Structure 1
């Protein structure tokens, strides 16, 4: 498999006098493609490849937020409650989460991470951090500074 970060970008047509500036739409498209490719590569760095990306995302929410209801998980993942229930069923079957009745409101069912789920999230995060850190360390200090600024900007884009 070729490393997407070390593969040169395809050459753009340019005139001999001066290269054509990309339009805002073209820049947006290139940014989207780069983010999607990077995201795909990071998603591949999971410790358990048997669960889907959406299942891992749900597991990550529960790990980060603590016990959550199916309804809250559905809101966070922007899916319907029945769809989230199917996702949680898969995670229960895999041994990564359990369901329990809320101590304060016996009508509520909470989903919480098991020790196996906790270990899977932590190992996946470790792998993803190692993958990106290796590539980040190979960059020049100038490129790392650009990425530090871009990280802040991408955060703002995500919050809009």
Structure 2
């Protein structure tokens, strides 16, 4: 293999491990562990895209509708989702966030960002500049 290919493969390996470890540390900065990461993902999608049917939410989350039905039932039982009739299809419902869900998502984000802010404060200006550039590149990779 050419040296460049080996360097790229080594970078891919190192970056994958670093991202996994970093993600794990960030996920550990939880406010409410009774809500699963799957639940938080569904709530975040609703916050980002607005009210939708459970089937649409399943599509956004890339899971099968029966799996999303279980998530929706659990979140509704926790008082984090509301159901209302679908405006054009009487067979469906539209789910939306409750004020409690909005507050939970805000608290989760604040806890993680507070932890990360503290960690970033311990780095040099040069390291923070490199991470700023890396975050732009990672967004580019994530968008492909």
- Taking structure 1 as the reference length, the TM-score comes to 0.81
Partner of 2:48: 64
**Which sections of structure 1, spanning at least 5 residues, go unmatched?**
1-21
1:73-152 matched pairs, under 5 angstroms: 73-152=57-136
TM-score (norm 2): 0.90
List structure 1 segments (4+ residues) > 4 angstroms apart after TM superposition: none
Q: Which has the higher helix share?
A: 2
Q: C-alpha offsets along residues 49-87 of structure 1, whole Å, 9 cap, x if unaligned?
A: 012111111011112222121111111111101111111
CA offsets, 1:32-53, max 9 Å, x none? 1111111111112222101211
Offset of 1:137 from its aligned partner?
1.5
Supply the RMSD in Å over aligned alpha carbons: 1.4
Structure with greater Cα Rg? 1
